[in-house]
Structure 1
Amino acid sequence: MGFVKEEKSKKVLRGVKTVFFLITMLISFLLFSAPILLVIADTLVPFSLFSASLSPSSLSLESLSSHFNNYDFRYSLVDIPLISIIRSVVIICVYNLCDGPRLSRGPYLGITTICSVSSLIYVSFKAPRVFRVSSTDRGEYVRAMEIALFICSLLLAIGHVAVAYRTSCRERRKLWVYKIDIEAVSPSLLLSASSNWS
């Protein structure tokens, strides 16, 4: 009986270790791929909220082209998901082009900040004009989706800056550790090389 209990406890402990390992791997994956996940969210979520603010029958390529043709800064919301998509494309292109040193203190953080702050200013400038318009012809659901669209765009812009800053700090720490390792290894290599020559 004692042997069976011991086997069961080992199985439970093994299961707990496996679950802990999987959770740790998932968290590290989310942390290291945060820029990519945020870009995907920034591309899909605002467009989904914009689609939800329209009636399902009006969501088509023709209706989207009519939104662009009849664009008015005070009424139209089609520019909000478009800005999110453009912002995401620019940020992911810069992220893919940058290596460790450039991610640590280079164009990635700077361009991400410029794109995010520019879109923040645009959305903050647009929001009062959109919501100043009388909402008698809009339902509460549509109004809620419009508010969610603006809030989501603002939060994602701030999220891009936060993730870019965190990524640059992580890469800076990696470079610092690498530099310390090189400085620690180089003198020992020089000593061993000189002893071999002698």
Structure 2
Amino acid sequence: MFVVTADQHRSRETGDRVRRLLEDLSPWADERAEHILLPLERTVGDEVQIVLSDAETALDFTLQLVRAGDWAIGVGAGPADLPLGSSPRQSSGEVFIHARNAVERARGKAEPVPVVVEGANNDAAGQATAVLQLLAAVVRRRSAEGWAVADRQAQGMNQARIAADLGISPQAVSKRARTAMVEEERRARPVVAALISTAEGHL
């Protein structure tokens, strides 16, 4: 099981962004409902939490938060006390402790990128953190132009369709994709997801 806990950075300066985040990620949650064991909710203050069934969805949700910006993110991997409660706040178990420890670390200045994985398998969690931070660094530096290409590729559009949709040449699409490191992200995702899954401790 996987729990992602995120705490907003500098909420006193930027204002509470939890409600906006819940609204913005509602379509994402609808598309991945089968992998969401307990839905995203505000737990306390400017913190949110979600409980997920698989590592791929946990990774994708984490990168959604990285893209949104201003979040310290902790990914917990491990067992929970069953049955789960009606919400993350009403649930408990080792995976929730891992997520709590991870977000506390992510808040600290020692982490180069505010994303940390903790789990039942410490070695795999450490490896997952290292590679996830590298992937998150790529994602959070991507420009709006790069996202315009990345989002359309994720929707299944080919280069010619993306070029027509954006009103640019296919060569410009290719250049934007290279600059945004879209292919590198695509190839790295399964590796990171596998490490997060191993951190759960079953393998």
Structure showing the higher helix proportion among its residues = 1
Q: Which structure: larger Rg?
A: 1
TM-score for both structures, normalised by structure 1 = 0.29
